[in-house]
Chains A and B, each alone.
Chain A
Amino acid sequence: MIAYLTAIATLVGVRALLTLGLNVQWGLTGLVNLGAVAFFAVGAYTSALLAVGGAPLVFAWPAAVGLATAAGAGLAMVALRLREDYLAIVTLGFGEVLRLFLLNEAWLTRGANGVTAIPRPLHARFAGHYDLFYLALVLVVVALVYAALERLRRSPFGRVLRAIREDEIVAAVAGKPVFRFKVQAFALGAGIAGLAGILFAHYLAYVEPNMFLPQESLFVWLALILGGSGNNRGALLGSLVLLGLLEGSRFAKDVIPFLTGVRLAAAQQILVGVVLVVLMIRRPEGLLPEQPGSE
């Protein structure tokens, strides 16, 4: 039971990072990104492949965050000039094309077999209670990112981002280089998603392309909207509630006899979809709404 809870808590931490990343993009700046999973995958695969190739983690991890950030900046520079309904499909498509790339370019990514035996950091030193150590590592990273983002939100930079979200024409008239701020915010969110990918890959010690389906991006959205977009605490709460929802419904299998594996997965996703639609209609501000004018 302890092992199970430790595993769940670790995954909540990874999801929390993804949600915090999307909160920078959508919650703070109002930028649409339906491809959060792409930057998650870039982080996971870059770090995994470098580490398996023998690179020390002190090199692999910054490289992975760097590549995810650069991918975010690149996509943002191409796509952020578009209207937001176009941006929705471009980011969604980007995530899907990246997954196809991971699946097909086996010379680089090992294709459908995935990357196995990804080294786990400090495994020898914490042998015996490694999962607890890793949970602590994830929680420390989440806490640091959270603290940094709270600072950022209150900083002049964060105020500009919110100004852009509310009315980018006003922000531009006030002399802010709106496009540059948007690219920076998008890249920062992508980098945080990349960091989540790193922690995910080295925790499971295995990654494969089908871990990065488009629906994962939808789960990140649900967590953010559930918790309250624009609010970092909401992002944390949303990730926790989402995983509770997904994991809790897993126990339904023990109660309802005809629930096979496929049916259970389908039922979980029906639940996710229904919660998302009902939230959008009834409570778009989430459980913990952003406080107006919170400094």
Chain B
Amino acid sequence: MPPIAQYVFNGVVTGGILALPAVAFSLLWRLLRFPNFAVSTYLTVGAYVALVLNHGVRASIELAWLGALVVTGALALLVDRIAFRPMRDRRPFSLAIASIGVAFVLENVVRFVWGNDFRSYDVPVTRGMSVAGLRIGRDQLLILGVAVVLMALAQAFLLRTRLGIAMRATADNPRLAAVKGVPTERVIALATLGGGGLAGGAGVFLGLDASIDPLMGGGLIISVFAAAILGGIGSAPGALAGALIVGIMEEVGMLVVPPTYKTAIGFTIILAVLLVRPTGLAGARS
């Protein structure tokens, strides 16, 4: 049996991938005031967009990844325009239900076209490294590196740029921000585009790390939720920390419970956080 450290390392990689949709989910929740269940399905969409580019036009995986980022972001924006924008003033739960409908449609469009088979990208086989008894894949390191860079960029955008500051202002108090001249719809569009892109890119990572199938993203919704709640809704660094904790706990938890119970670990985290400390680790105001 591999040492515990191996499970922790795998958990860190899983957490790094999970962090991208978790940050998107968390920020969009704060901004639009409803949990968008479709975010985790954007991972599936991104993975299949890259699959088409990779298999269809023989694009390298790096190029396919960029393509997935752009196409998924654009799709998220389109979904927002069609489904969510007409419902902006409704109670959050109506939007949440609509987002479940959207997730359902997207997942089944993928299933309709590609079926339920597991697929994988055409990538050159790289040999894993062995460091201090740990098996470490080059892909895994690359994924982790890119995820960290993307997170840093997202955080810098939120803290330093005019639009990022406008976005945080709208999330805090949409009316006040609008009165002060923040173009609310443009901020929402940008956040949706960026969030969809992050999730789509994460889908390619997930496809590289594991495999590609129609349920790959939707099946993560509870983990994404757990990461966002753990980190405090609306906090990007919080969601990153939450994703790492959820990723590690899900992997290490497999030493204790069968792997099929993975979802139950995320669920337990959600329940525990909501009942003990509903504002999350970062303690963002609700």
Q: Which residues of A contact B (CB under 8 A)?
A: 32, 34, 78, 82-86, 88-90, 92-94, 96-97, 100, 103-104, 215, 218, 221, 225, 262-263, 265-267, 269-270, 272-274, 276-277, 280-281, 284
Contact = CB atoms under 8 A, between A and B. Distances in A.
Contacts of A276: 97-98, 100-101, 104
B23 to A, nearest CB: 17
Contact of A85 (B90, B93, B115): B93
A251 to B, nearest CB: 18
B118 interface: no
B254 interface: no
Nearest to B105: A273
A270 B270 contact: no
B256 to A, nearest CB: 13
Contact of A218 (B35, B104, B261): B104
A85 B92 contact: yes
A270 B105 contact: yes
Chief secondary structure at chain A's binding surface = helix
A270 B90 CA distance: 24
Interface residues of B, number: 43
Contact of B260 (A32, A83, A100): A100
A122 to B, nearest CB: 38
Given A85-B35, A100-B264, A274-B101, A280 B94 contact: yes
B225 A89 contact: yes
B104 A82 contact: no
Interface of B: 29, 34-35, 83, 86-87, 90, 92-94, 96-98, 100-105, 107-109, 111-112, 115-116, 221-222, 225, 229, 258, 260-261, 263-264, 266-267, 270-271, 274-275, 278, 286
B102 A273 contact: yes
Given A262-B111, A274-B101, A93 B260 contact: no
Contacts of B116: 262
B71 to A, nearest CB: 19
B87 A280 contact: yes
The 7 nearest A-B residue pairs measured at CB: A273-B104, A273-B105, A276-B101, A266-B112, A93-B267, A277-B101, A266-B111
Contact of B98 (A83, A88, A97, A281): A281
Contact of B92 (A84, A90, A215, A262): A84
6 contacts: A85-B35, A85-B92, A85-B96, A94-B267, A276-B97, A276-B98
A269 B101 CA distance: 9
Nearest to B222: A93
Contact of B97 (A78, A89, A221): A221
B94 A284 contact: yes
Contact of A280 (B98, B260, B267): B98
B105 A277 contact: yes
B96 A270 contact: no
Given A78-B271, A280-B98, A272 B261 contact: no
Contacts of A103: 260
Contacts of B102: 273, 277
